[in-house]
Amino acid sequence: MTIGWLDLSAGASGDMLLGALVDVGVPLEVLAGAVAALPVEPVTLTAEPTTRHGLGATRVHVHAPPSDVHRTWTDVRSILADAALPPAVRDGARAVFERLAVAEGRVHRVPADEVHFHEVGALDALADVVGVVAGFAHLGLDRLSASPVALGSGSARGAHGVVPVPGPAVLELLRGVPVVAGPVPAETCTPTGAALVAAHVQEWTTLPPMRVARVGSGAGGRDPEQLPNLVRLVLGEPVDEPATGLLLETNVDDLDPRLWPGVLADLLAAGASDAWLTPILMKKGRPAHTLSVLCPPAARAAVQDVVVASTSTIGLRAQPVQKVALQRTEHRVAVLGGSVGVKVARLDGRVVNVSVEFEDVAALARSLGLPAKEVLRAATAAAHRAHPGTSATLLDREGE
C-alpha cells in the first residue's frame, strides 16, 4: 500500500505539482505524453533542476504558442473527449475542469457552461491539469493527504481587473478545506492548483504516520524571501497504529425506555461504530442511563445530531479514544443443510476468535423448526472446524 502527502505550506499551482511529480520519480514522458494527446496547438514540457532557499527541486516549464482563445467549459469538454487519453486521465481532468467551471460560475453569477476560462482555459492550464492527473494516475496511490493550503494575501490583477487574494474562485474551490493565508503577501494558490488538490486529496492533515520512501519537490516560478516556494510530495507506506475514535456520552433520566432501541439503531445508521446503554443512579436517587457512542471523527456531526434529536439530553461529553482492532474476515459455513455467516479475528495471523452471526442462526432455526440453541451449537462447531485456532484447541481438550 502506497500513500502520499502534499506539503502545501507554500501554496499550490499546476507547475509546482508537475515539478513535485517529476522530482518524486514520475517520468516526464508520462506527463508530456498525456499533454501531447490533447487536440490543440502543440504544447511541450521540459524539466530543469533548481533551488529555492538552498533546497533542491524540479521546475517544470510548459511551452505553448501564444493564444488569445477564451475557451468555455463546453470547449474544454470537447477537447478532453477527443483526446487519446486513458479513461482515468480523461475523467480525472474533466472532473478538475468541472470544479473550475462551477466555481467560476458562482463567482461571476453565470451558468457553468457559459464560463469563459480566460487564463484557466489557456493551453498552459490544460497542460497543467492533464499532466498532473496523468502523474497521479501513474503513481496509483491508495491515499493522498495534504497539509492546509497557504493561499497568500494582498491583491492581484486578473482578466477582470484587480482581485483580492485569496481570489474568489480559489476560496470557492476550497470550500470545506483547511486553509491559511501564509507569510507571503501575494497569490500563492492559483485556481488551477486549488482545483487539482481539491480533486485529489482525501484527507487534510499534518504528515501522517508513514515509512518514507521518496520525496519530491516542485518549484514555483517566484522565489519569495519568506519561505521556499515549493510543493513537496512525500510517498511511503502507512505505519499501523491504533485507530483514533471519539467516545460521546450523555446521562439521560427522563426518556421513555421504549425509545432506546430506536435511538441505538439510528446511531449505528448515522455512522457510529458502537452504541450502548449503562444503567446508573443519579442525584436524588433518580434511575437513569448513560448513553455511550463510539464513532470515527468523520461521523461526529451526524451522530451528535441523532443524540440531540432522538433523546432529551441537553449536552454531551466527548473524548478521544484509541481503538485496537484485530484483523477480521467474514466467511460462511454449511450447517444442517443451510449456511451461516462467520467472523474470524486474527492476531499476528493467528486465529484467536471465531463467532457466528446469530441472526443467521435464528433464521435457519426458524426455517428448520428447531430450537435456536441447537442450531447455534452446530454452527459454532462447524465454524471452529473450518477455522481452527486457540478456541478450537481448547474445545477439543474439553472433549477429551
Q: Which residue has the higher pLDDT, 96 or 161?
A: 96
The pLDDT tens digits for 113-148 are: 777 665 445 788 899 999 999 999 999 999 999 999
Q: What is the pLDDT of residue 394?
A: 46
Q: Which residue has the higher pLDDT, 50 or 155?
A: 50
- For Cα atoms 230, 231, 232, give the angle at the middle one, nearest 5 degrees: 110
Give the C-alpha separation, 244 to 234, whole Å.
23
Q: Which residue has the higher pLDDT, 244 or 14?
A: 14
Strands (E), the chain: 3-7, 44-52, 55-63, 143-146, 149-150, 154-158, 161-165, 179-180, 203-204, 210-219, 230-238, 243-252, 274-281, 287-295, 317-323, 327-335, 338-347, 350-356
Q: What is the pLDDT of residue 328?
A: 82
Query: Is residue 44 very low, low, confident or very high in pLDDT (cuts 50, 70, 90)?
Result: very high
Q: What is the pLDDT of residue 197?
A: 97
Give the C-alpha separation, 333 to 392, whole Å.
15
> In terms of Cα–Cα distance, which of 75, 98, 100, 89 is closest to 34?
89
Cell of 191: 485556481
Q: What is the pLDDT of residue 33?
A: 97
- For Cα atoms 138, 144, 146, give the angle at the middle one, nearest 5 degrees: 130
The three-class DSSP label of residue 214 is: strand
Q: What is the pLDDT of residue 158?
A: 66
Which of 140-149, 318-327, 349-358 has the highest average model confidence (pLDDT)?
140-149
Q: What integer is the mean pLDDT of 209-235?
A: 97
Residue indicated by cell numbers 499550490:
12
Domains identified in the chain and CATH numbers: 3-238 (no CATH), 243-323 (3.30.70.1380), 327-398 (3.10.20)
Give the C-alpha separation, 127 to 133, whole Å.
10
> In terms of Cα–Cα distance, which of 236, 231, 237, 238 is closest to 23?
231
Q: What integer is the mean pLDDT of 330-349?
A: 90
Q: What is the pLDDT of residue 120?
A: 46
Pairing between β-strand 203-204 and β-strand 317-323 as defined by DSSP bridges: unpaired
Q: What is the pLDDT of residue 71?
A: 81
The pLDDT tens digits for 371-387 are: 999 999 999 999 999 98
Q: What is the pLDDT of residue 364?
A: 93
Cell of 172: 470557492
Cell of 345: 479475528
Q: What integer is the mean pLDDT of 55-77?
A: 89
Q: What integer is the mean pLDDT of 172-186?
A: 95
Residue 3 CA, distance from chain mean position: 11
Q: What integer is the mean pLDDT of 18-42?
A: 96
Q: Does an H or E element contain 375, and which?
A: helix 372-386
Q: In whole numbers, what is the pLDDT of the chain averaged over residues?
A: 90
Q: What is the pLDDT of residue 109?
A: 84
DSSP code at position 225: S
The pLDDT tens digits for 300-314 are: 999 999 999 999 999
- Percent over 90 (pLDDT), the chain: 75
Q: What integer is the mean pLDDT of 141-162?
A: 87
* Residues 224 and 186 sit within 8 Å (Cβ to Cβ): yes
Q: Does an H or E element contain 374, and which?
A: helix 372-386
> In terms of Cα–Cα distance, which of 120, 174, 182, 125 is closest to 151?
182
Residue 395 has pLDDT above 80, yes or no: no
The pLDDT tens digits for 261-283 are: 999 999 999 999 999 999 999 98
